[in-house]
Amino acid sequence: MMVPRQLSFLALDLGAESGRAMLGQFDGERLRLAEVHRFPNGPVRLPSGLHWDALRLWTEIKSGLSLAIREHGANLVGIGLDTWGVDFGLLDRHGVLISDPYHYRDSRTDGMVQEAFRRVPREEIFERTGIQFMAINSLYQLLSMAISDSPALDIADTFLTMPDLFNYWLTGRKACEFSIATTTQCYDPRAGDWATPLIEEMGIPSHIFPEIVPPGAVLGEMSPSVAEEVGGSGLSVIAPGCHDTALAVAAVPAEEGDFVYISSGTWSLVGAEISEPIINEHSLAFDVTNEGGVGGTFRFLKNTTGLWIVQECRRTWARQGEDFSYDDLTQMAAQAPPLQSVFDPDYHEFRKPGDMPARIRAFCQRTGQPVPQSKGAVVRCVLESLALKYRWVIEGLEAILGRHLEPVHIVGGGTQNRLLNQFAANATGRPVVTGPVEATAAGNVLMQALALGHIGSVGEIRQVVRNSCDVVAYEPTGRAEWDDAYDRLLRVIHVR
């Protein structure tokens, strides 16, 4: 892992709430990360629905590039970009973006999963894709367009997921990276290519899907027009693994193979690392997903709602004139009585924007539980329910894999919520190790280093992460009380 000098890489990491340009400096043994540019992200509501502001995001990406080149251009050797999954842009035959990409929480996919089952049986869709059934998936977004005779779909020439769209604007190359392609539910992991027969049976044009490139592919140099605008040239643009969770998992500082990871943020992605997709009746029954990872791996996981619910509570209270920080809310939760009420974070009412505290109270009342009144009680109810749902997912994964998963590695922004981390240890009855906070950015930078030959394997990436970050360990407590709460979760988990 020796490098001739300290090398700098730029990670452009876009999440559902914010984006940032992170500079990674790598000396062969350790990685240092520094924030160059940060910007907000979020949906824009138009008469046509809920969208992403792709052009503003593109402007912010270029601002981050410009700042990094100005300050660190001499040592900057690579650029890598990642985002959330499932959302996409469509280009016409001239390579022009047809319309603002839709946000995955837009209501156009309501009822689309059931419509898909009318066209192709549920079992067959899973057999061909191995992906968890979620209305947000690209497959159902595209199906809604096909059913509504969308003019955009009629004139579309190329489908690009969000990071692939930005990479196209950076380089002029139209390609989909493997890890992000698998999130669409349009990819066949056994065939190693797009699930063309399934796509066509849904009435979706299959010719729009471009080539698929592996994690770590060098897409090319920045285009001359972008280079001129941001003040640099000759920089390699790398597809490091363009799905943020794939990169977060790559940066898990694990030493053994039987760990379970939780990528904690707006979503909580709970899973294990496997070498081949597991597509059988058991994984179908548990509605688990086989998403692409890096280094020839798959992420056998379940997407569960994460801190989105707390984020929506905070937004609701801000609209009512009470603006709390996340630290404020966590401190209030810590003061509230423990384990009063529980709910399933993946209940459909909690997936859409809106008055989340009112929905939580309504669920608790409807299921005969104490109704949380104070803001601290509401947030504590959320955090405890998330932790209990982690246990439910982990036990389901273990049943399919036939092995015990321990410890629990939590990475990502959610690691900063120490109360949730302790709850996760208590609920699962397992030791929890948290860090790094910037797991996605670390994975992005180190996958770039691997792509350019400065690191030899994912195992070496994890060694660099262990050398570079401090982790925090949590031991479980209060087992009997949490077992009782888990029994209550099991009673309400299928309430609809």
Active site residues: 244
d(CA 271, CA 260): 6
The number of CA neighbours under 13 Å toward the Cβ of 10 is 29
Q: How many CA atoms lie within 13 A of 487 on its CB side?
A: 5
Torsion (CA) 427, 433, 434, 440 in degrees, nearest 10: -110
How many residues belong to the chain? 496
Chain centre distance of CA 125: 22
Phi, psi of 9 (to 5 degrees): -130, 145
Q: Which residues pair with 19 in a beta bridge?
A: 14, 39
SS3 305: strand
Q: Which helix (H) or strand (E) holds 270?
A: strand 267-274
- DSSP per-residue codes, 271-300: EEEESS---SHHHHHTT-EEEE-STT-EEE
CB atoms within 10 A of CB 281: 9
Q: With H, G, I as helix, E, B as strand and everything else as coil, classify residue 395.
A: helix
| Phi, psi of 116, rounded to the nearest 5 degrees | -60, -40
8 A C-beta contact, residue 410 and residue 253: no
**Cα distance between residue 368 and residue 402, in whole Å:** 36
d(CA 462, CA 249): 10
Output the CA–CA distances (angstroms, integers) from residue 83 to 162, 213, 248, 272, 452, in the order listed. Answer: 7, 16, 11, 21, 21
The amino acid that residue 82 corresponds to is D
Cβ partners under 8 Å of residue 228, min gap 6: none
- Beta bridge partner(s), residue 13: 20, 82
Which residues 6+ apart lie within 8 Å of 432 measured at CB?
A: 407, 408, 409, 410, 421, 422, 424, 425, 473, 474
Lookup: tokens for 397: 């994964």
